[in-house]
Amino acid sequence: MKNFVKKLMLVMSVVILTLPIFASTVHAEETAANQLELNATAGMIFDEHTGQVVYSKNPDEKLAIGSITKIITLYLVTKAIKEGKFTEQDMLRPTQGEADMTQRNELTNVRLDADKTYSVKDLYNAAWIVSSNSAAMMLADKVAGNQGDFVKLMRKTIADWGIKGAQIYNVSGLNNSDLEPDMYLGTKEDENKLSANDIGVIVKHVLDEYPEIIQTTSKAKLSFPVENEVKNYESLNLLLKGNRDYQAGYEFDGLKTGTTDAAGESFVGTLPMSDTRMVTIVLNAQGEKEDRDKRFRSTQKLVHYLVDNYERKEVIKKNQTVTIDQKKYKTYEPVYTWLPKNYHVENLRYNVSSNDLGFTAIHKKQTVKLIAANTDGGYLPFKKADVKKVVHKKTNQKSWWDQIIEFFKHLF
């Protein structure tokens, strides 16, 4: 009996001694997971470089997105410029319909006149910085010839990125009922819809390919030619330095607002942090209709939540070996992951990535991508674009030299 009591006391002592360690890890995870109440229908914050999602709310729900649509539109415009299809100096003239839209206060900010021309650069800046709908339409016309064909290009692009169930009907993000028939596909009542996950995948593709876009979206002011003068307009991104909702230490430099009756007030933000770049998504921020800052406060809530509860840690060193299912993988470079504060790095587990995200490692001369398998938010459903190889079919057509020889043979 005495031996049993001694053994029982020994077991209880071990349990009591290990409880603080276990509790600290569990508490860190539970605190980080439950501390944020985001006042929006959906939202997310993720690391743009790695695709790691730190927090998300309703990430798969398809919602109206308003002018967040223009991220796709202006990506394709950027692509066309980079491919040399036209230049920033090219001059474009709006259609009468596009010009008329800029006379409607609820749909516009910069004025465009049907008897004047505007540079691609000015239109590009206006579409990004103050979300000019008509500027986006003019650029789409330049790329594809008409807006219907441009919408088809938008759909194909995001489908190639693995996005399913997207609803894209026009290039601006307005409800189709606000547009003329040649400005959209679908019915009069259709409106563009994506999920937070969809938007995250799109933003990662856009910034991976054209990070220089930030040079435009970080501008707090737009200078735009109106009649015979240049007018200045304030960026719709009020988190930029110099604007109303800026907070020192949180240096937002992008990316896009979105506002319609169906979309409410939404915002996709970007900012450098801890030697990486974070992306925030707030869809349909909740609050009083007259409150024009609610989407930005919700965004600030996301980044404060990150700073208060997480830290970016080096979890694997360069040339370190990671074992998965008895297979050994050697890393190419140091690996960093966002983890709850006080989280024990040794608790991380790793898997071979099922998509195109993760850190590079090698196993028996084979290169693979690995990810941390048990982080709180997981990773974006990211894949690189499908690139179809062009197959050149062989023909029986003779070369020009063979044709010359054949010609002379038939002369004699």
d(CA 311, CA 272) in angstroms, rounded, equals 14
d(CA 232, CA 216) in angstroms, rounded, equals 15
| CATH 2.60.40 is right for the domain spanning 311-372 | no
Condensed to tens digits (0 to 9), the pLDDT of residues 205-256 reads 999 999 999 999 999 999 999 988 999 999 999 999 999 999 999 999 999 9
Give 167's strand partners. 193
Catalytic residue among 57, 85, 121, 131: 131
pLDDT on residue 289:
84
Catalytic residue among 2, 7, 13, 67: 67
Query: Hey, what CATH class is 40-309 in?
Result: alpha beta
Write the CB contacts of 197 (distance below 8 Å, at least 6 apart in sequence): 44, 56, 59, 60, 380, 381
CB atoms within 10 A of CB 105: 7
User: Binding site, residues?
Assistant: 256
Catalytic residue among 56, 57, 70, 142: 70
d(CA 246, CA 256) in angstroms, rounded, equals 15
The count of C-alpha atoms lying within 13 angstroms of the C-alpha of 320, restricted to the half-sphere facing its C-beta, is 12
Burial of 111 (0-12, 13-18, 19+ CB in 10 A): middle
Residue 219 in 3-state DSSP? coil
pLDDT on residue 391:
39
Q: Which amino acid appears at position 345 of this protein?
A: V
pLDDT on residue 407:
46
d(CA 256, CA 127) in angstroms, rounded, equals 10
> Which candidate, 65, 74, 98, 282, places its Cα nearest to that of 175?
65
8 Å CB contact between 259 and 266: yes
For CATH 3.40.710.10, list the domain ranges present in the chain: 40-309
Burial of 161 (0-12, 13-18, 19+ CB in 10 A): buried
pLDDT on residue 1:
53
* pLDDT under 70: residue ranges of the chain: 1-34, 106-108, 385-412
For CATH 2.30.140, list the domain ranges present in the chain: 311-372
8 Å CB contact between 138 and 123: yes
Helix (H) or strand (E) holding 153: helix 147-160
d(CA 102, CA 134) in angstroms, rounded, equals 7
67 is catalytic: yes
CB atoms within 10 A of CB 154: 24
User: Binding site for substrate, residues?
Assistant: 256
Write the CB contacts of 356 (distance below 8 Å, at least 6 apart in sequence): 369, 382, 383, 384
